[in-house]
Structure 1
Amino acid sequence: MTQPFVHPYLPNTAPDVKAAMLAAVGAASTDEFYADIPEGLRLDRPLDLPAPFVAEQDLVRHVDGLLGRNVSTRERLSFLGAGTYNHYVPAVVDEVINRSEFLTAYAGEPYEDHGRFQALFQYQSLMAELLNMDVVNVPTYDGFQATATSLSMAGRMSGRRGVIVASDVLPDKFSRVHDFVRTNLDLTVVPTVNGTADVAAVAALATEQTAAIWVETPSYSGAVETAIRQLADAAHAVGAVLVVGTDPVGYGVLTPPADQGADIVCGDIQSLGLHQWFGGAHAGFIAVHDDPRFVMEMPSRLFGLATTDVPGEVGFGDVAYDRTSFAHREDGKEWVGTAAALWGIAAGVYLALMGPQGMADLGETLLARTRYAQLQLSAIPGVALTDTALHLREFVVDFSAASVTAHAVVDTLRAQGIEPGVAVGEYELLVAVTEMTGQGDIDRLADAVASVVAASDTADTSTSNTEEKSA
């Protein structure tokens, strides 16, 4: 008789344990747990895993071999972006967040752990100052969730379903947001013009069924939106709100969306002291004005400052805790986890270290290096920018007038130790620069791209001449 397989690392694979777990939840099989996942997304085969290793040292060697296949941006020149960026993380950030009272604390519990509460309060305060908003939440899992939650807030407040998408949105983000809100909101995408919002088209679509206008700045392509005020006016004219998805890294120099009429500002804080880590440490923020209508729709925790019975001493604790899913459990408006709180402390340390002048210097550096990279690449024959909008950190170049595809550029330069960007179409390449990308790095990229284009042109000319002689 064949004995059932029990994985030595996973005790819950034992048949009697699995049976007991299924009985406890009233399920007939493990397949019932996956009923909500479409068949097309399910893996119809076992995971491609090696046989269990008997000796621990063999397992360690195997895992080390897998990890060794990763190549970091310290080893290669990288112009990759698309949501996760190679910004510098000061050493003090890692020093603080690796302290045991922060690293091991779960959401600030136990509740007498006021040091963690204070650290998150300081993060919220610094973010509020950077964004010129009044209220900022403890981080959500990532910026995708923060955006989806912000749109859901707009829908709950208005009782409407319509959302007008006025910007180019990172496809992965749009997919996640759509999955999150598809049961209660309808997303309508309005094509952009020259990289930014088509205000007239957006305003024409806004009706009394519109819950929100959603704009991203910088957009998927790095374009900075210049018509936020007009979009806010279009939203407010029909009783809707303006939700601005953004990256806070540029607001040392850019005008905050709150100063241009935004009602909800949201995004990701990965650029504020969080490492890339082969996919990024990500956390989302939601910022609103000091308006109970908005604050009471926020499902995330908020930490506030309060006086105590001891003269001269203050305490830190939850604000309006009874509005959260932690208090309401299954009856909550929305469930939000707590896994990203540590990244709020990291961002708080980063912002405290940088200060207003540091963030201004960073923003100016990003704008200058982005423009320099645009000029260097677009000067190559056959390479063009896709729009003339102002860009921060990212932009798209088009190779359609050259005899080379974006994928060919990526493959060729990767062999030279350069990650030139993300191919977002057959001929379009999304290029990202940060303060880690110096002028020499940009020049190296431009020279490498020029060589690829020239070699391709030469090959095409040679082929054309051969065909003419044959004819």
Structure 2
Amino acid sequence: MATRKKSTSHPYIPNTVPEVQRAMLDEIGVSDIDELYRMVPKELRLAGPLKVEPALSEYELQRHVERLLERNTSAKETISFLGAGCWQHFVPAVCDEINQRSEFVTAYAGEPYEDHGRFQALFEYQSLLAELVDMDVVNVPTFDWAQAASTALRMAGRITGRRTALLPATMHPERLLVIRNYLSPQMDCVLVDYEPGTGLLDMADLKARLSADTAAVYIENPSYIGQIETQGREIAELAHAAGALFVVGVDPISLGLLEPPSRYGADIVCGDLQPLGIRMQYGGGQAGFIATRDEEQFVMEYPSRLFGLAPTSVEGEYGFGDVAYERTSFAKREKGKESVGTQTALWGITAGVYLALMGPHGMREVGETIIRQARYAASRLAELEGVQIRFQAPSFKEFVVDFNGTGRTVSDINKRLLERGIFGGKDLSGEFPAWGQCGLYCVTEIHTKEDIDALAAALKAVL
């Protein structure tokens, strides 16, 4: 006779009172809570009890957490050249001021509750971002770029009725994992190679991989490794000739300077809002967006909410509300095209504040500053003995630095830089082992000439 596991309640974990947990399991027809996790591989499950004992008092817990946080070294105390999906940009004070207002600070994409002003704030955000990316329709923010790209590709699959998405081999490996997981089992992901000298998409390989089953060709511009993809129009033409859609992931802060993807044939544009007035927050300030033309085939495939202007019961008066709410997962629930759930609407409001403050001229100025500073940094590092810039195509704010000629590992170099108060670039040796010892360096508008010179001097000292 099997013995039932002993169950005890815990002050930090909800619904762990044995009687409550038993009633919930009985209601859904499950004998043991472990049955709920049967699809999770055993090697990923916690084998023993969760070690969060003893339960601390509120004050003790506060002190414990503060001591843990004090062990961190943040980008405030150092000069940071890390990027790779979470970038250090200047955040105007007004962004923090607005997103901490009581009517916005808990904003998300569920029910409106009493914060009616949120609908207008999100409408204004959508309008500003639509102007930036030169598209008509923008959704309420997703969790991050990875989810935005995944949903965009799922949309392309439903529109075309096809099962394959072509993606660049140089894309962020973690983003690729999310996309593969999100598209499975409805769609497959196939990687397209890159040109060794430039890092740009290999057009011959793209042509070879296009087929009658290709739903979408996806690129990122700038790419994960920083290159500006100059072949966008040709890629769009090839995708469209094959009956596929062209999806472009973009860093929106680059669009004050670079041509928006819609101008070179993009059908769906997606990306991350984090550069637009959102702090890094230990990697947590992420929010994705999706943008399309105002065409029914696209609009009706959005699973998330869209806010627009609508007439009210008062003649001549307009308000802000949902567009085609019946197509969303909030309305369709389990019958929806995909589940959206809680979203990062607060970051959409923040991005809207940033765009309103910067305006077209401000966005152009910050873009020019970034590309100028990044080029200066690349030229300074290339002067160091044994150091090269790996790819020669134009880049925006990130670039790959090749340390193979120095005989040192990126990990060792970064440790020595940190001793001098500098976060070096992201170590790519694990993600792209064929490149050897390479680091992804990021330079934005917050980096001064003195910061870059200090990096060059520190690298010269440690190499």
Bigger shift: residues 431-440 or 106-115: 106-115
2:139 alignment partner AA: N
Structure 1 pair 62–38 and aligned structure 2 pair: CA distance change class (3 A):
same
Instruction: Map 1:310-321 onto structure 2 (within 5 A).
Output: 310-321=314-325
Percent identity of paired positions between Structure 1 and Structure 2: 51
Instruction: Indicate conservation of the 8 Å contact 2:428/2:440, yes or no.
Output: yes
Q: Which moved more, 1:101-110 or 1:294-303?
A: 101-110
Does the aligned pair in 1 maintain the 2:107–2:345 contact within 8 Å? no
Aligned twin of 1:90:
92
C-alpha distance after superposition, 1:351-388 (max 9, x if no partner): 00000000000110111111111101111010011110
Structure 1 SS opposite 2:301 = coil
Please show how residues 156-305 of structure 1 align to structure 2 within 5 Å. 156-166=158-168, 168-193=170-195, 194-305=198-309
Q: Which of 429, 433, 450 does residue 439 from structure 2 map onto?
A: 429
Aligned counterparts of 1:238 and 1:215: Cα–Cα separation in 2:
16
The residue aligned with 2:398 is 394
1:21 counterpart = 2:46: no
Amino acid at match of 2:220: E
C-alpha distance in structure 1 between counterparts of 2:169 and 2:253, whole Å: 19
Q: 1:206 to 1:10 in 2, by over 3 A?
A: closer
Could you tell me which amino acid in structure 2 is paired with residue 405 of structure 1?
A: T
Q: Give 2:452's match in structure 1, choosing from 442, 448, 456.
A: 442
Partner of 1:101: 103
For residues 268-417 of structure 1, the aligned pairs below 5 Å read 268-417=272-421
Q: Residues 284-303 of structure 1, C-alpha deviation per residue, up to 9 Å, x if partnerless?
A: 10000111111111111000
Q: Deviations over 1:162-202 (max 9, x none)?
A: 11113511111011111111211111111111211112220
Matches within 5 A, 1:459-470: none
Q: How has the CA–CA distance of structure 1 residues 10 and 167 changed in structure 2, closer, same or farther, with 3 Å as cutoff? A: closer
Q: CA deviation at 1:106?
A: 4.5
Q: Secondary structure at the match of 2:413?
A: helix
8 Å Cα contact 1:80-1:420 kept in structure 2: yes
What TM-score, normalized by structure 2, do the two folds share? 0.94
Shift of 1:450: 1.1
Aligned match of 1:458: none
Shift of 1:105: 4.2
Pick which of 102-111 and 438-447 moved more: 102-111
Distance in 2 of aligned mates of 1:446 and 1:106: 43
**Take 1:396 and 1:368, find their aligned partners in 2: how far apart are those partners?**
16
Q: Secondary structure at the match of 1:259?
A: helix
| Cα distance in 2 between the residues matched to 1:267 and 1:105 | 21
Partner of 1:33: 36
Specify whether residues 63 and 167 from structure 1 end up closer, same or farther in structure 2 by C-alpha distance, changes over 3 A only: same
After superposition, give the CA deviation of every residue in 1:94-151 in whole Å (9 maximum; x if it has no partner). 1111111111344374366431111000000000000001111010111110000000
1:59 to 61, 70, 74: 61
**8 A contact 2:271–2:290 mirrored in 1:** yes
Paired residue secondary structure (1:213): strand
Contact (CA 8 Å) 2:109, 2:341: kept in 1 or not?
A: no
- Cα distance in 2 for residues equivalent to 1:25 and 1:140: 30
TM-score normalised per structure 1: 0.92
Structure 1: distance between partners of 2:344 and 2:231:
32
User: Mind listing any 5+ residue stretches in structure 2 that lack a counterpart?
Assistant: 430-435
What's the secondary structure of 1:391's corresponding residue?
A: coil
- Structure 2: which amino acid aligns with 1:38? P
* Amino acid paired to 1:327: A
Instruction: Give yes or no for contact 2:170–2:194 (8 Å, CA) kept in 1.
Output: yes
Write the distance in 1 (CA, Å) between the matches of 2:14 and 2:110.
31
1:51 maps to a residue whose letter is P
Question: Is contact 2:168-2:218 (8 Å) kept?
Answer: yes
- Contact 1:270–1:280 (CA<8 Å) still a contact in 2? no
Task: Report the residue type matching 1:43 in the other structure.
Answer: L
Contact 1:212–1:240 (8 Å) recurs in 2: yes
Checking the alignment, whether the CA contact within 8 Å between 2:217 and 2:247 is kept in structure 1 is yes
* Residue segments in structure 1 that go unaligned for 5+ positions in a row: 454-471
Tell me whether 1:122 sits opposite 2:124 in the alignment.
yes
Paired residue secondary structure (1:103): coil
Shift of 1:59: 2.0
The aligned amino acid for 2:277 is G
Q: Residue 215 and residue 11 in structure 1: after superposition, are their counterparts in 2 closer, same or farther (change >3 A)?
A: closer
Q: 1:285 to 1:11 in 2, by over 3 A?
A: closer
Measured after TM superposition, the shift of residue 206 of structure 1 is 0.9
* C-alpha RMSD of matched pairs (Å): 1.7
Q: CA deviation at 1:280?
A: 2.7
CA contact (8 A) 1:4 1:15 kept: yes
Of 214-223 and 351-360, deviating more is 214-223
Matched, 1:8 2:18: no
Q: CA deviation at 1:3?
A: 8.3
SS at match of 1:101: coil
Determine the structure 1 residue equivalent to 2:433.
none
How many residues get paired? 451
Report if aligned partners of 2:219, 2:247 keep a CA contact under 8 Å in 1.
Answer: yes
Give the letter aligned to residue 199 of structure 2.
G
- Residues 235/364 of structure 1: CA separation in 2 closer, same or farther (3 Å cut): same
Q: Deviations over 1:251-282 (max 9, x none)?
A: 00100000000000001100001110001311
Find the aligned partners of 2:107 and 2:385 in 1 and give their Cα distance: 55
State the partner residue of 1:462: none
Determine which structure has more spread, i.e. the larger CA radius of gyration. 1
Q: What are the equivalent positions in structure 2 for 1:119-158 lying under 5 Å apart?
A: 119-158=121-160
Deviation at 1:4, TM superposition (A): 5.5
Higher alpha-carbon deviation: 317-326 or 113-122: 113-122
Q: How far apart in 1 are the matches of 2:345 and 2:106? A: 11
Q: Is the 8 A contact 1:167 1:214 kept in 2?
A: no
Does the C-alpha gap of structure 1 residues 218 and 330 become closer, same or farther in structure 2, counting only changes over 3 Å? same
Is 1:223–1:391's contact at 8 Å kept on the other side of the alignment? Answer: yes
Partner of 1:464: none
